[in-house]
Amino acid sequence: MTPHIEAAPGDYAEDILLPGDPARAEWIAETFLENVKVVNRVRGATGLTGTYKGRRVSVQATGMGMPSAAIYINELLMEYGIKRMVRVGTCGGLNAEYKVRDIVLAQAASTNSAQNSALFGQYQYASIADFGLLRKAAEEAEKAGLRTVVGGIITDDNFYDPLGGLPYEVLKKHGTVAVEMETAALYTIAARYGAKALTIATISDCLITHEQLSSDARQESLVEMVTLALDTLG
């Protein structure tokens, strides 16, 4: 038990999916897992464990943004022996070449958050994915015929940008493919504990073309993304 998780030792599997939304965590468990057990309800951050193709897998909601995600990632790694973590969610595309519903496999995550700068001081730490998980996800996506983008993303502390996306211009020029709000924390903390981590995120909207997924297409894309994440952990 931790300040934010009430699960008992052994309640979580060594492999875990990390959506932000508690409702999405429950949907993942109901849709994809068998023999599901709820292991956490503290502060509404739902955690569940079940089986997928005979393997134990857990799902834990982390909330939105690096500060919230960092709490759950730290506590899962400190107290529950998690070995492999895959964040599943959505992101905003930063290149018109990539379309909504494309799936981003985040190779690395830059950030404007003070979390890493406060920790590393003069050094600009490179938050990177586990190569084994990244390679497996790319292979599974190719087998499934999914459109994927492998590249660097930006983890931004701001959802509403008062500068209208202007700071993203230099990032786009350096190959950054998408923006979201949690991955830099995931990769940094996983590295600290020797765990393996990857973010798999569907492009739900494009900040360049302003294209957005319809509600039906969003749901279909979530099925593709979560299936890919689960098969990556297989």
**What 3-state class would DSSP assign to 38?**
strand
Burial 68-85 (b: 16+ CB within 10 A, else e): bbbbbbbbbbeebebebb
What is the spatial distance between Cα 32 and Cα 8, in angstroms, rounded to a whole number? 23
Are 107 and 151 in contact, with CB atoms under 8 Å apart? Answer: yes
Is 161 an annotated catalytic residue? Answer: no
CA angle 21, 161, 189 (to 5 degrees): 50
Whether the CB-CB separation of 208 and 95 falls below 8 Å is answered with yes
Q: Which among 11, 21, 157, 205 is annotated as catalytic?
A: 205
Q: Which residues does the annotation mark as catalytic?
A: 205
